[in-house]
A and B are shown apart, each in its own frame.
Chain A
Amino acid sequence: MFDNSSNFVQGVDSAFLIITGISVFFLVVLTGLMIYFVIKYNRKKGKPAVQIKDNSLLEITWITIPMILVLYMFYIGWEGFIPMRNVPKDAMEVTAIGSMWKFEFEYKGNKMSDTMVVPINKAVKVNLASKDVLHGFSVPGFRIKEDMVPQKDNYTWFIPGKLGDFDIYCTVYCGLNHSYMMSLIKVVSQEEFDMWLKALPVKKADNSLGLKLLEKNGCIACHSLDGSKVVGPSFKGIYGNMRNLNTNGIKKDIKVDDAYIKTSINEPDAQIVDGYPKGLMKSYKGLISDTEIEQITQYLKELK
């Protein structure tokens, strides 16, 4: 009767059906009674109102029965949920890293992927991490959801029971491109998974302090490293190259050097690249020290 996309579907969906069923029952009965009374006891029929006395037994009954019903609903809600926190010891571990605005998945051996590929019928533990603000890791097809909290070890897990692609949505509002922060879980056969994992590239160890600073201060949220335009100009290959500036209508060409980078960080509206409006970027003066600016500049020099 229940979808087998994950091991949690039955617990969640059965709780859903039961609670919805009880709710619909009460909605129909209570609405029906209301409509019935309004018609039967309408003042136009001319009968005066009967002043009914309160009945304590009736009150106690309709306190007790709902209390029993809600405690039952609490119970099935808890029973359907608690397995989501009890991870099997032999689960394969993947770390899901959320950042503004993408998901990345880290597999054992420092291998990175944009999508989460997993073998069917095997338990997967998803360690949840965030590089900046709160994000949500939500897979509606599997009935799982848990928040990615910076510097906190949160987790979720699942056993996929069906081959196919399952949407991952970010469900905690995280700014400008929250609606675009999506990814996929691809459930494949064990053989396909093993081949995929073997071919997955190892992430180059990037010890650049400059890059860490760009990530920590959220620069990457608006300036890409790969040439694509996000909110501000991309950082790729800028150092030593010419830029067209347009400040207050005055156009000027300038070579990107240490001084330009420092001004852009401390007084972003002073020298704006042509085609970008004022007031988009806030000043980081006092937030990023001069030493840190040098480290960032060093990184940008190498980002060809």
Chain B
Amino acid sequence: MSNTTEKIEYVSYLDHQGKYKGIMSWLMATDHKRIGLLYMYAIITFFFIGVLLGLMMKLELLAPGETIMTAKMYNSVFTLHGILMIFMVVIPGLSAVFGNFFLPILIGAKDVAFPKLNRFSWWIFIVGSIMAVLSQLLKDGPPDTGWTFYAPYSTTTNSNVIMATAAAFVLGFSSILTGLNFIVTIHQMRAPGMKFFHMPLFPWALYATAWIQLLATPVIGITLLMLIAERAFQIGFFDPALGGDPLLFQHLFWIYSHPAVYVMMLPAMGVITEIIPTFCQRQIYGYKAVAISSLAIAAVGFLVWGHHMYTSGMSDQARWFFSLLTFIVAVPSAIKVFNWITTMYKGSIDVQPPFLYALAFIFLFIIGGTTGLLLGSVATNVQVHDTAFVVAHFHYIIFGGMGFAFFAAIHYWFPKMYGRMYDIKLANISLVIKFIGFNLLYFPQFIIGVQGMPRRYFDYPEQFQPAQVISSVGGFILAFGLFLMVYNLVKAAKSGAVAPANPWKGSTLEWQIPSPPSLENFDEAPIIKVNPYDYK
């Protein structure tokens, strides 16, 4: 017999037969790729429930006065919409789905550092999600506080606040443990020869994100426990009637919740940074600047939380400091945009769905980001704080930004994950419909927000109705586009054309292995290049 090991027979990770069979092979999976898919199916389900709640709100807002539901129900609907979308969709979002699936592959590893901890993180996510569902069904009725749980309303209202905040507490652990897992994975499991500055930029983004998950999430954990203690035992942390301070809640809440938006955005920007070089066949312009900018955003992002509180009664000096830092944190994001666009210069550009989504992302992200400047500036903030303007801003950033990046990621990596290709034309049509619907839905809210339309308003003065109608119509157009996209992808997963290993001519490691990958990713040792985006 020769000394070389026999060539390993290729078996897709989807067909791999391990210790468990059937559904148990999924529920007990430790393969990072299966765990990524499990997160994806759960997150997409919660996303669509959230979309339905959003459409219900849009129907209600078509006309002043009670249209399809009572004020009490509306308050519960926007609360659940926020809880679902923030804690169960966009915070886990890209990290848990594409981070899990592709981080090990992109660094030449066979799995994450702690696969069983990874499985446990998914279980925690499901338990927390079940608790969130329970909070809708228990005796005191669905929470009606908004996803921000501001005290003293949240410490005194008669609804299932304790169960909802306990759910968020549990979900937080899924985030913390995923962050820990990714940090160790990136430090310890890069393939031999791959130094930090040889890593592709999606892992860099995940690395910065993981530090935020690890360090910031415990703060919200403690805050929610304090809220629960105040409701259950009347300990006066936040309610002035019990000797507490409502501003303490706001500070503690936003010390986590602002960095949390970078947990949403950094992986999103990382995905775009992977897509653009591939479809331009050019190395990313400014690799080092883009890598460092992710770390800069994560670090400075810890220092800006007070920009949610300029009108709260906080000191003038605090308002000054937080505004200054908020403007500084905008700069690294701008740098990424400049580098992305410069990567297109003299490239060889193939406009496929992932790239089209990336272009849409950049446009929507610029609008979301620059309206953030209006919110960061104290004078203009006073006018638009707590209005529909803020609602439009964060939907442009989170939905137009992170959401469209999620769609970009799935259209980019779908052939790798499932070994099949979707209908390109339908993918592009669905994108155009979503883009039109999205802008009709959210842009009018900037205008009525500046005019004074408050947020979380179930009823409103007549002068705001025309904009509300345009917005509601846009919401339904967007929903139709979403439906087309899901239809396209589900059909492709079942019966799409078989996809090759490298349909987009990408240079990073995931494109050097079969579609779908085998269980341990690399049946042969991967070839590590100094420049991950080497297109020469």
Contact = CB atoms under 8 A, between A and B. Distances in A.
Interface in A30-59: 30-31, 33-34, 37-38, 41-43, 47-52, 54, 58-59
B323 A26 contact: no
Given A73-B373, A170-B454, A176-B72, A78 B331 contact: no
Given A19-B374, A30-B362, A175-B157, A145 B386 contact: yes
A140 B451 contact: yes
Contact of B348 (A48, A67, A70, A79): A48
Contacts of A63: 331, 335
Contacts of A157: none
Nearest to A283: B158
Contact of A147 (B144, B240, B313, B341): B313
A34 B359 contact: yes
Q: Which of B335, B377, B381, B452 gathers the greatest number of chain A CB atoms within 10 Å?
A: B377
A281 to B, nearest CB: 8
Contact of B311 (A31, A37, A145, A281): A145
Contact of A43 (B287, B312, B348): B348
Interface in B165-181: none
Given A30-B362, A140-B452, A178-B456, A77 B286 contact: no
Interface residues of A, number: 80
B373 A19 contact: yes
A67 B312 CA distance: 28
B452 A169 contact: yes
B536 interface: yes
B240 A150 contact: yes
Nearest to B355: A38
A119 interface: no
Contacts of A108: none
A76 interface: yes
Interface string A4-46: 0000000110011001101100110011011001100111000
B456 A81 contact: no
Contacts of B535: 49, 51
B467 interface: no
A172 interface: yes
A140 B377 contact: no
Given A49-B280, A172-B150, 16 more contacts: A22-B370, A23-B370, A30-B337, A52-B285, A70-B330, A73-B327, A73-B373, A78-B378, A138-B386, A140-B452, A150-B152, A171-B386, A173-B455, A176-B72, A216-B241, A282-B140
Q: Which 3 residue pairs spanning A and B have beta carbons closest together?
A: A77-B377, A80-B379, A140-B452
5 contacts: A49-B346, A50-B347, A150-B241, A171-B387, A282-B140
Interface of A: 11-12, 15-16, 19-20, 22-23, 26-27, 30-31, 33-34, 37-38, 41-43, 47-52, 54, 58-59, 62-63, 66-67, 70-71, 73-74, 76-82, 84-85, 132-134, 136, 138, 140-141, 143-147, 149-152, 154, 167, 169-180, 216, 218, 279, 281-282
